[in-house]
Structure 1
């Protein structure tokens, strides 16, 4: 399957990309940073440096890759969890405007299906953006993947797991791979005991 992976160098995307390639998929991965494009290539993907807010460039990149699936793994989160409240508006924009731009790019690319990450909890004061994001993906016939809070290397919880719902980041990536064939709907990925 040809997959356009938006956010291929992020916490989940960087783990997901080599798994998708190993499963036989042809993956075009996006990054905003030219310095990170090599990570995508090393993992077996075709890198594209593009910003999700540049609609024209994003659409051109998606059309060129001819995807059957657009996978939205983009967030706009800070490196330090203490800064999340200050960056809430930026992450909400990713869920609304970023999602709208990816849906438009998928449509321009021939109506590629959409699989988009979401969260298995409601963040204080940002529930409207999450609800809009999920409704837009479902209205387009896509799949919403609600991840529990991520833990493990490269996450906010590297040494101690957070409260449920949670999922080890490597498990989140592995359990996402088969969802490329999932029917439209909502899937929750969390540790089995949660």
Structure 2
């Protein structure tokens, strides 16, 4: 297949590109920078510099690429810019989908997240509605996701991957990343909040497999939703950060997600069933392990 990989230099795009190439796909990969384009070309992809907010440029890029499918992995999470990230999901996805319509592209695989569900006491399934009662700043994130998922669903063949909280190279949880900084400042509460984690390599494997999946929304998370008062002390100890003070309670939406649909109907399962080994091995001198 010819694949337009939007966001090829991101945390998931980087491990996804070699998987696509190894599977025999022809990849047209995008980056916002000239440096990114050069790096992508050196890795074997056709590389295109693209501003996803430029509608004309997106239409031109999709038309010239003439892909069989678009894989949408665009984010602005490296700098923790949630407003820009939501704008990418709203406007960037809109531009990609409109360009796909014009070019006759039928299939899209799009990145979403698994912690935008309504509140509850058990891990959320795909049938759980997105949360329309939350307040800012989370409301901006949920609204952006809703716009992304609705736009993607306009294409005849659409797969939305609701990823867990990503860890691994290029994520907030890598040594020296955002979470390490926050842990050292004592800003990460060891509460009852439940998270479902996902290694970036498992996310990339799911995106590759989804090229052949039926349309729909699928939670892509590990097997063991975990409370913060369990994982935060493990990561803090590995990174040499102060031991967190336990904090009671959680927000209703901090419930984790269930991966049964991916396992039973899509044949996907995480290569890393839990975050524990990677978090325990984390450390500035062993960053290659994450």
TM-score (norm 1): 0.90
Q: Which residue of 1 aligns with 2:224?
A: 193
- Listed as ranges, the gaps of 5+ residues in structure 2 are 117-136, 181-187, 189-193, 226-290
Is residue 52–residue 98 contact of structure 1 (8 Å, CA) maintained in 2? yes
Residue 28 of structure 1: how far off its partner (Å): 0.1
Residue 189 of structure 1: how far off its partner (Å): 0.8
1:98-177 alignment, distance < 5 Å = 98-122=92-116, 124-126=138-140, 127-141=142-156, 142-159=158-175, 164-177=195-208
Matched residue SS, 1:121 = coil
More strand by proportion, 1 or 2? 1
Query: Which deviates further from its counterpart, 18-27 or 117-126?
Result: 117-126
TM-score (norm 2): 0.61
Is residue 67–residue 112 contact of structure 1 (8 Å, CA) maintained in 2? no
Residue 136 of structure 1: how far off its partner (Å): 1.7
Matched residue SS, 1:146 = strand
Query: Which deviates further from its counterpart, 146-155 or 127-136?
Result: 127-136
Deviations 1:139-165 (A, max 9, x none): 323110111010012110115899521
Tell me, in whole angstroms, the C-alpha distance in 2 between the residues paired with 1:181 and 1:187: 13
Is residue 6–residue 70 contact of structure 1 (8 Å, CA) maintained in 2? yes
Q: How many residues align?
A: 188
- Listed as ranges, the gaps of 5+ residues in structure 1 are none
Q: Which residue of 2 aligns with 1:45?
A: 45
Aligned-residue RMSD, C-alpha: 1.9
Runs of 4+ with deviation above 4 angstroms:
159-163
Deviations 1:84-116 (A, max 9, x none): 3xx322111111111100001111222331111
Query: Which deviates further from its counterpart, 171-180 or 27-36?
Result: 171-180
Matched residue SS, 2:27 = strand
